[in-house]
Chains A and B, each alone.
Chain A
Amino acid sequence: MGSNNNKKKILFIDDEVDLCKLVKVNLESLGEYEVTTVSSGEEGIKKAKELDFDLVITDFKMPGMDGEAVLDALKAMKPHLPVVFFSIYHDDISTIDTSVRNRVNGIVSKPIDHKHLYEVIKDILG
């Protein structure tokens, strides 16, 4: 495991592959995180089963499994795994129901710059 053992592991799920790449590069450049990216909810669940993550950041609206389904599956599997929604609907109660909001550790709005995303992650992972 080596130096990787000190790094927090983040799973980033978004159907925008380019966004996944950039978020990974930006977060890993900080040296504190190891980011795994996948481009669908189904792949995300599969990865979460295989590996241990400290945080999952997932898009809310995706083809196939959406953010809420991902959340349900993750919580069923690992109830204490923090999950953050990465969405354009951050402040829309009609799209993201209050009961769903209460079960996630945060909702961040797209587009978010690197600095703000880091602050949100730091808040959760310390």
Chain B
Amino acid sequence: MVKMEKIKLNPLTLSFAGDLEKTFSENYFRRFLKQVRFAVLTGVFFYGISGVFEAQINPETRGMLWFIRYAVVCPFGLGILLFSVFRLFEGYKQVLLVGWAVAAGVGIIEMNAAAPPSMHFFYYTSLILILIITYTFLRIRFIWAASAGWFILAVYEIVAVRFGNIPAAVLENSTFFFISANVIGMAVCYSMEFYARKDFFQVHLLKDRHEKAEQKLQTAYNEVRETQKRLIQSAKMAAVGQFASGVAHEVKNPLSIIVQGIDYLERESIPANKDQAEVLKMIKEAVVRADKIVRRLLDFSSPHPLRLVPYEVTEVMRASFRMMKKQLALMKIKVTEDFTAGLPLIMIDEEQMKQVFINIILNSLHAMPEGGEITARIYAKDLTEVGNGIGRRASDLFKVGSSVLICEIKDTGLGIPGDELSKVSDPFFTTRFSQGGTGLGLTITRSIVERHGGIINIESKEGQGTGVTVILPIFKEGDQGGQQQ
């Protein structure tokens, strides 16, 4: 069974602490609005109808009494009814209802003062009725209802003593019953409001728990989905790897025959014919291209083992840009390097990490056919926030608090359309098939980074450019590390 939290209320005003009071007031208002309207209407009806009896018993003072009933109290009540259709009513509800109850009560006291003693029982009963409706039917908050009740009693006492038309014994008697009505009314009102608040609090708690449970369920569901996606992806990768290896093996042998065959033809049959020699050269170049693709397939299906040595990542990034210098200049791409000095050495395979950076730079290059800018940053960071691959799941490589090196390469290129962004690391996904793209560059890049115990995140906005972030772990002395050989 769920243990309920204890309700915390101000014992006098019954108010909740903080925002809960506001929520309760809104809820209470909506919940009892119809009842309040009905109570006002009932009050107006009885206040009005009793004027008829009054006229029969005491026709002399009818004018003044009717003025109080039909010109003040009843219109006041009807005004409240009318006003209650507006949203503004919510803010003034308590004041208006208390005001109306007090007006009705004081009206009765005035009428009592003006009437002969024989009428006293009539007004006395009316006043009791007003106290009942004030404490219960109108759903006025306890603190307000009690103030109104005691105020009416005080006015009654003052008027009775001042005008002195009530016999002392009757006054004593009626005072006793008014006090009793007030005390009982307060108890009822307190109890009604307390239990209404308690109900609200429990519903609120249950709702809160329900929301939290739903949130937990959603998180768990998302995790399961994410894991399932990863499993499918790794199964897919394994299948693709196996397929790629098979294809590579089958293709390499025919390629060997073609290469050896071209060598034979070059030597034995065609050297004199320039055109045919040119064709052979083209065939050989095509074979080299095909071999490159096959090599990539093999890299993908059986990646090279890492040769990890302590190395400066900034140096690898610099070397990668140096290797691409000519192409970058040719394509009018400006490179800005912003590398923090004195970064710690980390365990990397220099060659393979170079392949990572070159692949990313190449992608940027292809995304900027009209030129542009690449900004490269490397800095150290202690991860403080949960993110993609960081501290979200137990299986995440990084925990919040891990020390990492962040390597960012951002371009001002064409960007990647939203529907393609999730596929860019998929094997064989390429938008440059006609230009010889294999669709394995980013797949291999991701695989290298992951084998270094790192993660790679790609953010892109179509038309605005792409940012690739490689996060690599800084292993402190004694760390076992997450790198896979």
- Say yes or no: is A22 at the interface (Cβ < 8 Å to chain B): yes
Closest-by-CB residue of B relative to A30 is B267
| Contact across chains for B260 and A88 when beta carbons are under 8 A apart | no
B348 to chain A, nearest CB (A): 18
Do A113 and B302 touch (CB < 8 A)? no
Q: Are A19 and B302 in contact (CB under 8 A)?
A: no
Q: Is B332 an interface residue (CB 8 A)?
A: no
B93 within 8 A of A: no
Whole-angstrom CA separation of A9 from B466 in the bound complex:
58
In the assembled complex, which residues on chain A have CB atoms less than 8 Å from the CB atom of B253? 16, 19, 88, 110
- How does the 8 Å CB contact mask read for B251-281 relative to A, with 1 for contact and 0 for none? 0110111111111100110000000000000
Q: Judge if B248 is at the interface, Cβ distance under 8 Å.
A: yes
Chain A residues lying within 8 Å of B110, measured Cβ to Cβ, are none
- Given contacts A22-B257, A88-B298, A95-B302, are A111 and B252 in contact (CB under 8 A)? yes
| Residues A22 and B264 in contact in the complex (CB < 8 Å), given A88-B252, A111-B258, A111-B287 | yes
**For residues 62 through 83 of chain A, which have their beta carbon under 8 Å from a beta carbon of chain B?**
none
CA distance A114 to B302 in the complex (A): 27
Cα A81 to Cα B268 in complex, Å, equals: 32
B417 within 8 A of A: no
* Distance A61 CA – B249 CA, assembled complex (angstroms): 9
Q: What are the residues of chain B within 8 A of A23 when measuring CB–CB?
A: 260
Secondary structure at chain B's binding surface: helix, strand, loop or mixed?
helix
Indicate the size class of the contact surface on chain A.
Answer: 20 to 34
Specify the chain A residue showing the minimal Cβ separation from B267.
A29
Give the residue of B249, B262, B305 whose beta carbon is less than 8 angstroms from that of A93. B305
Whether the pair B291, A111 counts as a contact (CB closer than 8 A) is: yes
A18 touching B264 in the complex, CB below 8 Å, given contacts A88-B248, A92-B298, A94-B302? no
Closest to B258 in A: A111
Q: Is A91 an interface residue (CB 8 A)?
A: yes
What is the predominant secondary structure among interface residues of chain A facing chain B? loop
Does chain B have a CB within 8 A of A25?
yes
A88 x B302 contact (CB < 8 A): no
> Which residues on A sit within 8 Å (CB–CB) of B256?
16, 19, 110-112
A22 and B261 contacting across the interface, CB-CB below 8 Å: yes
Q: By the criterion CB–CB under 8 Å, are B260 and A114 in contact? A: yes
Q: When the two chains form their complex, are residues A19 and B248 in contact, meaning their CB atoms are under 8 A apart?
A: no
Chain B residues with CB below 8 A from A112, complex form: 256, 259
Whether A105 sits at the interface, judged by CB under 8 Å, is no
Interface centre among A19, A91, A93, A115, by most chain B C-beta atoms within 10 angstroms, is A19
Q: CA separation between A19 and B305, bound complex, in Å? A: 30
Q: Is the CB of A26 within 8 A of B260?
A: yes
Contacting residues, chain B, for A111 (C-beta < 8 A): 252, 255-260, 287, 291
**B264-A25 in contact (CB<8A):** yes
Complex interface bits, A6-36 against B, C-beta within 8 A gives 1, otherwise 0: 0000000000101100110110010000000
- Residues of B close to A29: CB separation below 8 A: 264, 267-268
Cβ of B294 to closest chain A Cβ, rounded Å = 8
Chain A contacts for B257, CB-based, 8 A: 16, 18-19, 22, 111
Once the chains are docked, how many angstroms separate the CA of A23 from the CA of B257? 9
Q: How far is the CB of B56 from chain A (nearest CB, A)?
A: 112
Which residue of chain B is the closest to A86 with respect to CB atoms? B256
B256 to chain A, nearest CB (A): 4
Contact between B260 and A22, CB atoms less than 8 A apart: yes
Residue contact B267 to A113, C-beta cutoff 8 Å: no
- Measured CB to CB, the closest approach of chain A to B131, in angstroms, equals 93
Q: Which residues on the B side are within 8 Å of A110 (C-beta)?
A: 252-253, 255-256
Convert A36-74 into 0s and 1s, putting 1 for each residue whose CB lies closer than 8 angstroms to a CB of B.
000000000000000000000000010000000000000
Q: B211-249: contact bitstring with A at CB < 8 Å (1 yes, 0 no)?
A: 000000000000000000000000000000000000011
Is B304 interfacial (CB-CB < 8 Å)?
Answer: yes
* Chain B residues in 8 Å Cβ range of A16: 253, 256-257
Contact with B along A92-103 (1 / 0, CB 8 A): 111100000000
B304 touches A91 (CB 8 A): yes
Which residues from B are CB-within-8-Å of A94?
A: 302, 305
Other A-B pairs beyond A110-B253, A113-B284, A114-B260, 9, CB < 8 Å: A22-B257, A23-B260, A94-B302, A95-B302, A110-B256, A111-B256, A111-B260, A113-B262, A113-B263
For the complex of A and B, list the 8 residue pairs with the smallest distance between their C-beta atoms, beginning with the closest: A114-B263, A22-B260, A111-B256, A88-B252, A111-B259, A111-B255, A110-B256, A110-B252
- Name 30 interchain pairs, CB-CB below 8 A, sorted by A: A16-B253, A16-B256, A18-B257, A19-B256, A22-B257, A22-B260, A22-B261, A26-B263, A26-B264, A26-B267, A29-B264, A29-B268, A61-B249, A88-B249, A88-B252, A88-B294, A92-B304, A93-B304, A95-B302, A110-B253, A110-B255, A111-B255, A111-B256, A111-B257, A112-B259, A113-B259, A113-B260, A114-B260, A114-B263, A114-B264
